[in-house]
Amino acid sequence: MKQNLALFDLDNTLLAGDSDYNWSVFLISEGLLDAEQHKARNEQFYEDYKNGCLDIYAFLKFQLQPLSQHPKAFLDELHTKYMTNVIRPMMTQKAQDLVNQHKVNGDLCMVITATNSFVTKPIATAYGIEHLIGTDPEMVDGQFTGGVSGTPSFQQGKVTRLDAWLATRGQTLADFDTSYFYSDSHNDLPLMKLVTNPVAVDADPTLTAYASANGWPLISLR
């Protein structure tokens, strides 16, 4: 029997909230970022993302720089607290049930997200999803540099990164008779248009309109 592919966006899809935006809010609450300097820029980048005009490299410079200021071991401890206090309350039973159903069906499951893999890998693991494509922060000698490694998995970059990952397995998207991609955001339309079963989840107005016009399912995991 051929295996199906199930792709999940993370923020505002599997999560009832945004792990990227809230990571900055969390760092501010921990006294690790200056609230005045950081809060307004974080809000503006989040609005740009929702409006489809995000400069991904400007955002990543902003978002990854704090990682370079602390040892990895300290960041890992911080992330454990972040998972408990912030992320777990955003993980909905409906989202977990959806993931579980795909796993029971034997589908190849992956979280594919623009948010950096330091923040998102433990979240994917918490959902029981082994495979993750996120934007990769650059590391040198075990320390984050504040830079980006490779192509950010954002908009068309998700297609690029997925194609490259499948190629390492000797596969292409066309090898799957059925492929799902669950997302809330119009930023994910490049990949949603390529799978056989795109599903709009608690979708933004642009994606809702596109999904409705094209007969795609519209669901809520809240």
Task: Give catalytic residue positions.
Answer: 9, 11
Report CA-CA distances (Å) from 64 to 43, 172, 180, 199.
16, 31, 30, 30
How many Å apart are CA 204 and CA 193, to the nearest integer?
A: 16
Contact yes or no for 92/222 (Cβ under 8 A)? yes
With H, G, I as helix, E, B as strand and everything else as coil, classify residue 22.
helix
Distance of CA 1 to the CA centre of its chain: 29
Q: Which amino acid is at 25?
A: V
Residues forming beta bridges with residue 6, ordered by sequence position: 109, 180
Cβ partners under 8 Å of residue 116, min gap 6: 20, 60, 63, 64, 67, 134, 135, 136, 137
Structure tokens that stand for 212 in this block: 């409705």
